[in-house]
Amino acid sequence: MREKSCFDTGWQFHEGEFALPQPAYKGYMYMHAKTVRAVTGPAAVDYSTQGWVNGDNWKPVSLPHDYVIRHVPEETNNEALGYLPYNSSWYRKTFTLTPADGGKRLTLLFDGIATHATVWVNGCLMAHNFCGYTPFEVDFADVANLDGENSVTVHVETNDHEGWWYAGGGIYRHVWLTKTPLVSVDTWGLYVRPERRSDSLWECSVETTVRNDAFAAHDVTVTASLEDASGTVIASAEAKSCLDRKAKLAVNQVLDIASPELWDTENPALYTVRVKVVSAAGEDEYTTRTGFREVVFDPERGLFLNGKPTKIKGVCCHGDYGLTGKAVPDNIQRYRVRLLREMGANGYRCAHYPQAEGTLDALDENGFLVMAETRWFESTKEGVEQLETLIRRDRNHPSVIMWSIGNEEPLFTKPEGKRIFETLYAVTKRLDPSRPVMAAVDKSPATAPVFEVADLIGINYNLPAFDEVRRKYPDKCFVSSENCAVPSTRGHFLDSSTERSIFNAMDWTVSNWQTSREDTWKFLMQRDWVAGGYQWAGIEHRGETLWPRLCSQSGALDLYLQKKDAFYQNQSHWSAQPMIHLLPHWNFRGREGEPIRVWAYTNCPEAELFLDGVSLGRKAIEPFGHGEWFVPYAPGTLRAVGYLSGAEAVSESKETTGEPVALRLTLENASDLRANGKDLAVIHCFTVDTEGRMVPDASPMVAFDTNKLAVIAATGSSVFDHVPPHVSERHMRAGLCAAALRCVAPGKVCVYASAPGLATARLEFDVE
């Protein structure tokens, strides 16, 4: 039976290269040219003179691990990469196998290493991987020591980068050790394709790639079953075949399902497909999740999900987290997705690479419409293999509704680009004929020849070009694959400053390229033939920036997952529940009498603003618009009211507060937290005045601490703060600061926050 275990603990880490002078004798080169390499091999030769095999310059780490995030930013480093230095590194780990592991397939699956990686097992070179975002597998059964200690060594090179964003460094996703019988289901070897046959009948095609790693042929029996959420089997099928030695075979079966519960954005119902492979070599079992949904891209009317017109209310996101860099715990991946759902989003673009499996699982569970994207637009052997890995890994996710095989490539406008696109298109359709293939084009979309091949027309920005391209391709549906990119700095309500790299928090049009959120969404909603769009960006990411700030400022959630005003603006566009959000705050001491621009984001047709109970005007709000007033500043209470059918439906107030007197703490993700040494508790810290009101412009220096059941993993508040995130003291900016606690033992966690002149905050919560 298959055994899959997490391989994240017990690693040792060394940052930097080792001084490995080449010996002046034949023996070293002779051994280095054998299967067991001299650099990492066991003590068949005395390598201790090289100074690193048994040296003291290693430290213990657990995965996922990103070491680049711990450095201090310097202006002389690359701005796109977050102003951080990128050094190469080494990882190593020892583990034990037993004779019982003989006669098994043994693999290590690396979910992600940034950036280029070389892997040795027991001194034998096993793999090179040249994409920091694509998982890869190492089958080490042939070189395994089945009666004692084994070693795995990983060399990470970070001097070659794959993007214009923060790249991180290290083994930043999970590693898995898997043991299976010699006849087993191949990794990502289960492909499930549900299709509607009538109003109530669905057909679920199941393709199982079975592999035989034995040196003899085997008869196999493959049983596929479909289980509902309770684990009840509702359909099954059996097939028999013979598999030659050291070979693979695709076994195809069909399950008929009557009236399954459909997966959609509001009710993301999921089923489990379980495959059992039985042979003389043993029994293997493999599972995947699937969902029954019908996706149609109509060239006239846009996207239909299960026959219902659906607009993609999407965001583009990178995969990093401001407090931990590329190493994002599973529970934070889920938390990110839940926050985006709370904002009203139903779409997610994996920009611009395969993202963590934990993120894809969360997108399935929360009903997102996903654009999955490969990193390299290349028809080379390497580029094709990376695309194949993406599709094999993610094609069972019901959330994935389209494949993007390239983003903003200059070659999209040239014949060479069309030829590359045709090759990658064919690869994609061979592995998954059920989903449309597209590219995200930003340069000269009206003349890009890749659109002649693409199933969908994906355009980044370029709103004025949509109608022109539509006239050229009236038989294809469109998607705004990337839009907006409107920068805003949380809590900043003065003029934007290019010199300081800081931006007003209100929505605005930067240029005819970067159009405001409001105007972009109005544009998309006016065109039924556009399936929707993916806004840049859902969450701020490190890199792609200008000094002194450390991140992109276009997110609706800031670098530390704190809600910006754009979060609520999107909510006003994308949510049906009546809401209103008032901005700015009302703490402007020293600006008495100065007209302050006041906005209300609301999905109500009317809004009214009051200052200390006196109406400042009631206004009609156009669909996807906002209310706007200019109010001479005077301390007091601003209140915005949204009206439905003439009656008050919602309201929000902003009060002028007193000076801060105490700190307060809140736990933001209590529903998804375990004491497993990996999960992070997200803590928000703010100040209150004597009346208990949050002070929105407070800026104390806050020190965080906790009891022994947790550790302070990271803190953050300002995107201009160059103190590395793992430091436990942080200068609060704009009234809010975040901390991440790693929960290491079950019990009652106590968190403390202190600041000079303020009452200390204490927060308790239980973690199992």
pLDDT tens by residue, 562-619? 999 999 999 999 999 999 999 999 999 999 999 999 999 999 999 999 999 999 999 9
Average pLDDT over residues 216-236: 97
Tell me the fold of 298-574.
TIM Barrel (3.20.20)
Task: Please count the other Cβ atoms lying within 10 Å of the Cβ belonging to residue 764.
Answer: 11
pLDDT band at 42 (very low <50, low <70, confident <90, very high): very low
Determine the Cα–Cα distance for residues 160 and 677; give it in Å rounded to an integer.
Answer: 32
Residue 34 contacts by C-beta under 8 Å, 6 or more apart in sequence? none
Check if the beta carbon of residue 32 is closer than 8 Å to that of residue 38: yes
Check if the beta carbon of residue 165 is closer than 8 Å to that of residue 80: yes
Give bridge partners of residue 61 from the DSSP assignment: 11
Torsion of Cα atoms, 574 then 580 then 586 then 592, to 10°: 100
Average pLDDT over residues 416-425: 98
3-state SS, one letter per residue, for 438-487: EEEECCCHHHCHHHHCCCCEEEECCHHHHHHHHHHCCCCCEEEEEEECCC
SS3 99: helix
Asked whether residue 51 carries a pLDDT value surpassing 70, the answer given is no
φ, ψ at 180 (rounded to 5°): -130, 165
φ, ψ at 586 (rounded to 5°): -130, 40
Determine the Cα–Cα distance for residues 542 and 187; give it in Å rounded to an integer.
Answer: 32
Average pLDDT over residues 263-267: 97
Determine the Cα–Cα distance for residues 291 and 403; give it in Å rounded to an integer.
Answer: 18
Count how many residues are written for the chain: 768
Q: In the CATH scheme, what is the code of domain 662-767?
A: 2.60.40.10
> Exposed/middle/buried for 694, CB within 10 Å: 0-12, 13-18, 19+?
middle
For the chain, what are the domain ranges? 3-180, 183-290, 298-574, 588-655, 662-767
Q: How remote is the C-alpha of 630 from its chain's centroid? A: 39
DSSP element (H, E) containing 232: none
Convert the pLDDT of each residue in 644-672 to its tens digit: 999 999 999 999 999 999 999 999 999 99
Q: Which CATH superfamily is domain 588-655 in?
A: Immunoglobulins (2.60.40.10)
Determine the Cα–Cα distance for residues 694 and 736; give it in Å rounded to an integer.
Answer: 9
Please give the single-letter amino acid code of residue 134.
Answer: T
pLDDT band at 46 (very low <50, low <70, confident <90, very high): very low
Please indicate whether the domains covering 3-180 and 183-290 agree at the CATH topology level. Answer: no
DSSP element (H, E) containing 137: strand 136-139
Average per-residue pLDDT in the chain?
Answer: 95
Which architecture, in CATH terms, is 183-290?
A: Sandwich (2.60)
**How is residue 101 annotated by DSSP?**
G
pLDDT band at 276 (very low <50, low <70, confident <90, very high): very high
Taken in order 422, 424, 430, 434, the sign of the CA dihedral is negative
Q: Which CATH superfamily is domain 3-180 in?
A: Galactose-binding domain-like (2.60.120.260)
Say how many Å lie between the first and final Cα of the chain, rounded.
30
**How is residue 357 annotated by DSSP?**
H
Convert the pLDDT of each residue in 388-405 to its tens digit: 999 999 999 999 999 999
Check if the beta carbon of residue 536 is closer than 8 Å to that of residue 544: no
